[in-house]
Amino acid sequence: MATDKIMVDDEEIAGVELSKEEKKRLKRQEKKLKKFGLKDESKMGKMELFFYRMEKRRKIKKKKRVSRSVAGDISLFILLCLFGLFSAYPLVYSFCAAFKPLAELFIYPPKLFFQNPTLDNFKDLSMLLEDSWVPFSRYFFNTIWITLAGTVGHVIIASMAAYPLAKHKFPGSTVIFSMVVYSLMFAAQVTATPRYIIFSSIGFIDTQWAIIIPAFAYSLGLYLMKQFMQDIPMELIESAKIDGANEFQIYWKIVMPLVKPAWLTLIILLFQQLWNNDGGTYIYSEQLKPLSYALNQIVSGGVARTGTASAVMLIMMIVPITVFVLSQSQIIETMAHSGMK
């Protein structure tokens, strides 16, 4: 049996007044949408609809729960607590050791918590730093400069290099990315000698650029950014081009906010690496050395400086741990997207 097509004119419908029953039904639907935090997708543009659906999927993932028994939940909780205590033990011990007097540091078997807390270790550390002919503030400024310049530069360069590899096809793109992946297999010790020869020939030896420039070429960052950018749909980029956005505007205003977990992870990883770099291989001038070098020199004073060494360890731990705690959820999300463990 053939069916006739019904032609509907939107303008005619727009002019028709709704009945009381239809108005009540419409109000009920609007209340349901507000109650569950939903919006009318038919009234959204392409970009607004994309971001709205991403946020909705994120909320759904949070609400998902694996079906387990109460005994399974308790067992999992106990197991996670044991792993958490095992991981936290070195941190707690390092914190307590910084406030232990020298006599407590050599007690056997060693005790986790201090009995007579003292600040003598930090006082001794400040006295040793005051005796140095290079001010402590100079070491600290060198570390801040190296860490910030290397981290910010790497995030910008890695993201700009990853964008064309992820969202554009050009001759040699596969070969370039394969070289990036293969470079992850080489340890720093393998490239130390050729890197020193190159830096010596271009005049980077005994300058802070010998630490900052290699940070720009951190291949793991490029790999993470490329893996994250691949998940961005091309429809979003094409709609931005239709609206008149150029490549840089798409990269900076659309792609970078969407890959925020990736570049936050890079900041944490590279920040920790540069913060602990002592520059001993390339920097020889005392006024250019970072803070970690000065603290390591103090620690190497022998058994008498064991307490000072504990204070140094705590100081060097505080900043990287703080940065990691503030952004740990972004690291987990990045590793899940990139397929790394």
Dist. CA 136–CA 294, nearest whole Å: 9
Q: Which CATH number fits domain 119-338: 1.10.10.10, 1.20.210.10, 3.10.20.30, 1.10.3720.10?
A: 1.10.3720.10
What per-residue confidence (pLDDT) applies to 66? 54
The secondary element (H helix, E strand) that includes residue 223 is helix 219-229
Rounded to whole angstroms, how far apart are CA atoms 91 and 94?
Answer: 5
**Which residue ranges make up each domain of the chain?**
71-118, 119-338
Which residues, 6+ apart, have CB-to-CB distance to 324 below 8 Å?
A: 268, 272, 331
- Residue 47 has a pLDDT of 64
Other C-beta atoms closer than 10 Å to the C-beta of 177 total 17
Burial of 43 (C-beta count, 10 Å sphere; 0-12/13-18/19+): exposed
Return all residues near 27 (Cβ < 8 A) that are at least 6 apart: none
Q: Which two tokens stand for residue 45?
A: 């543009």
Q: Are 288 and 208 in contact (CB under 8 A)?
A: yes
Question: Which residue in 137, 101, 129 sits closest to 310, CA to CA?
Answer: 101
Task: Give the dihedral of Cα atoms 172, 177, 183, 185; nearest 10 deg.
Answer: -130
pLDDT in tens, the chain (341 residues): 444 444 444 444 445 566 777 677 767 766 666 655 666 666 666 666 666 666 666 665 555 555 567 787 888 889 989 998 888 888 888 888 888 888 888 888 888 888 888 888 888 888 877 777 778 788 888 888 999 999 999 999 999 999 999 888 888 888 988 888 888 888 777 888 888 899 889 988 888 898 999 888 888 888 888 888 888 888 888 888 888 888 888 888 888 888 888 888 888 888 888 888 888 788 888 888 888 887 777 777 677 777 888 888 888 788 778 877 776 666 655 555 544 44
Quick one: how many helices (H) and strands (E) in the chain? 18, 0
pLDDT of residue 11: 46
Q: H helices within 64-204, ranges in order?
A: 70-97, 102-105, 120-131, 136-167, 173-183, 188-202
- What was the pLDDT predicted at 153? 92
The helix or strand, by DSSP H or E, that contains position 235, with its residue range, turns out to be helix 234-242
Residue 73: φ, ψ to 5°? -65, -45
